[in-house]
Amino acid sequence: MTFFNRKTKKMATIKMGAIITEIAGSVGGTTFRRFKNGTVMQNKQFGASANKLLKNKSLPILSEVIKNWSSLTLAVRNEWISQALNFQFLDKFGVLKNLSGRQLYIKLQSQSTFSDQGIINPFTLLSTTPNFTVLNWAIDSTPQAQIILSIPLLNGTLSVQAEQIRNSSVGFNFTRREILKSWTVVTQSIFSYTAEFYAKFPNAKEGDYFNIYLFSSNNSGFRSTVIAHQVQITP
C-alpha cells in the first residue's frame, strides 16, 4: 500500500498482513482509497473551505432528504425497510450488500431529486432502467450541444454530465459530478442541452475536448450504468 504525504512529497509503502487484507474509507485523519493497481493512503484534510461548501448545490438537497426520513409515516418507513431486502449495491470493496431502509431511501430519493424527479413511492419500487443507445454526441460552436439516440427513450429520465479535459489522451473519470440537465420523457430521441453546457463552460471554443457522461433513471430513483464519450467541439 502506498502512502503520499502532500507536504513533504514523500512516499511510503505499507504491506497488508494476514489479519487485514483489505481496507477502504477513513480512519482518524487518514483516508484509504482502493484503485486498480493497489491501495493509496492519504492524510485527510480537515474540512472543505466555506466557499466550496456554499457552491456545492447538492448539499442542501441531500440534507433535506436526510431530514425528511423522520417525517415519513411509520407505514412508509417500514416499507422502505422491507424493500431494502430486495436490492443490493456494491460496497467499497466491490461486494454486493443490502442497505438499511433509511440508507435505501436516502440513496434513491436523493438520486431522484438530483435528476429533477419527484417523490418516490416505496410500494412500487423497480430497479429496471430505460435502455438507450447514442447515435450522435454533437457539440459545435454555433453554438449547439445535443445527444441523439438511435431509438427513442421510453418512460424515463436521461441525465447528462460533462467535464473539460486537456486533450484527447485524458481518460474518463467516473465520479460524482454536477448534472447539467435531465429530461423526464414519455418518448424522445433528441436531447438538447446547449444553454446548460455553455453556461457551465462559457469559454468553450472550437477544438476543445470534453468527456460527456450519460445515464438513464426510472421513477424509483434507480440509475443505469453511466456511459461516456469524448467529444471535440466542431465548427
Tally the C-alpha atoms within 13 A of residue 6's C-alpha that lie toward its C-beta.
Answer: 7
Q: What is d(CA 128, CA 17) in angstroms, rounded to the nearest whole number?
A: 41
CATH architecture of 134-232: Sandwich (2.60)
The x, y and z cell numbers of residue 164, run together, are: 473539460
Q: What is d(CA 93, CA 72) in angstroms, rounded to the nearest whole number?
A: 32
Give pLDDT tens digits along the chain (235 positions). 554 555 544 444 555 655 555 656 555 556 666 655 566 655 544 444 445 434 456 778 889 999 999 999 999 999 999 999 999 999 888 899 999 999 999 999 999 999 988 899 999 999 999 999 999 999 999 999 999 999 999 999 999 999 999 999 999 999 888 999 999 999 999 999 999 999 999 999 999 999 999 999 999 999 999 999 999 999 9
Domain chopping of the chain, boundaries: 2-43, 50-124, 134-232
Find residue 216's DSSP bridge partners.
158
If we measure between CA atoms, which residue out of 24, 29, 28 comes closest to residue 45? Answer: 29
The predicted model scores a pTM of 0.75
Q: What is the pLDDT of residue 91?
A: 87
Q: What is d(CA 45, CA 11) in angstroms, rounded to the nearest whole number?
A: 18
